[in-house]
Amino acid sequence: METAGAPEVRPISPDDAAAVAGFLHANLNARLSAGQWLRLLLPPWDDGSAPNHGFQLVAEEGIVGVYAAVYSRRELEGRLREVCNLAAFCVREEHRAHSVRLIRALLGQRGYVFTDFSPSGNVVAMNERLGFRHLDTSGRLALNLPRGPVPGVRVTDDPAALSRRLEGTDAEVYRDHRGAAAARHLLVEAEGSYAYLVYRRERRKRLPLFAVPLYAGGDRALLERAWPRVGTHLLRHGLPVTLAERRLLGFVPGGPGRELASNRPKMVRSKELDGATLDYLYSELVLVQW
């Protein structure tokens, strides 16, 4: 029950997006411009079918809180499912007591698989209380080294080659994400087969030197075999290290590096899915380059 003078919870509509982006710039991360935040709220695959772009707290002085969300329809574990990705959460300190109302508004939407791929601070514990489970993020921190060619293997990020070669779900993924600010795309071809990698550049200890795979499509065995050339390609693009999750890739690169028992938390809330096959597409990880 709302108290007198309490901020109102409202869905974020496309007309609200610019004001919400300005709020996130001013209150969550000023290193990202309002324009960059706007790309989170209005993703390139948005066809107008999303019920909202999250929820906002609005008081007399304007927006005082935001929980932005990114929606998609994905085929997961053999079924078409509606997914709501919790993407950016910020409430001004004097209104923090009302934060739970934003969370209830989002999670009160029925029929969704909920994901949170960048929870931080006390949000992790809050998610656990709300029924979110941790995804397996174990893997390997692998050094990307200069290597010679692998016979018969071609590695390219050429958009024309990607558009020509990708098929089925991979082609749809590329169409939806080629305009996403943080998504980078790589094609591996050999002997009539292909592998497809979507990854992002990420900062660790303020160093933007890490490649983080977000999706692996096509022939994963080929991707594993060609990884020395993939690593060389990443190194040439200023990424000397890959944070490779075993669950996502289906393997971890060999060579110099070290094992990781876990990576940054990633979480899912669903009564039907365990999240074993989830990738990180259609989320803030492809839309915002921080």
Read off the pLDDT of each residue in 257-261 and give the average, rounded to a whole number.
94
Q: pLDDT-based confidence at 150, cuts 50/70/90?
A: confident
Read off the pLDDT of each residue in 150-176 and give the average, rounded to a whole number.
97
Q: Domain spans of the chain?
A: 8-135, 139-263
Read off the pLDDT of each residue in 122-144 and give the average, rounded to a whole number.
96
Beta-ladder partners of 202:
210
pLDDT at 129 over 90: yes
pLDDT at 105 over 60: yes
The reported pLDDT for the residue numbered 262 is 84
Do 8-135 and 139-263 agree at the fold level? yes
Q: What is the pTM of this model?
A: 0.95
Read off the pLDDT of each residue in 1-11 and give the average, rounded to a whole number.
77
pLDDT at 4 over 60: no
List, for residues 68-93, the tens digit of each pLDDT value: 999 999 999 989 999 999 999 999 99
Query: In three state form, how does the secondary structure of 130-176 look?
Result: CCCEECCCCEEEEECCCCCCCCCCEEECCHHHHHHHCCHHHHHHHHH
Please tell me the CATH superfamily of domain 8-135, with its number.
Gcn5-related N-acetyltransferase (GNAT) (3.40.630.30)
pLDDT at 1 over 60: no
C-alpha atoms less than 13 angstroms from C-alpha of 61 in its C-beta half-sphere:
7
The reported pLDDT for the residue numbered 130 is 97
Read off the pLDDT of each residue in 92-98 and give the average, rounded to a whole number.
95
Determine the CATH number of domain 139-263.
3.40.630
Read off the pLDDT of each residue in 253-261 and give the average, rounded to a whole number.
94
Q: pLDDT-based confidence at 179, cuts 50/70/90?
A: very high
Q: pLDDT-based confidence at 14, cuts 50/70/90?
A: very high
List, for residues 216-238, the tens digit of each pLDDT value: 999 999 999 999 999 999 999 99
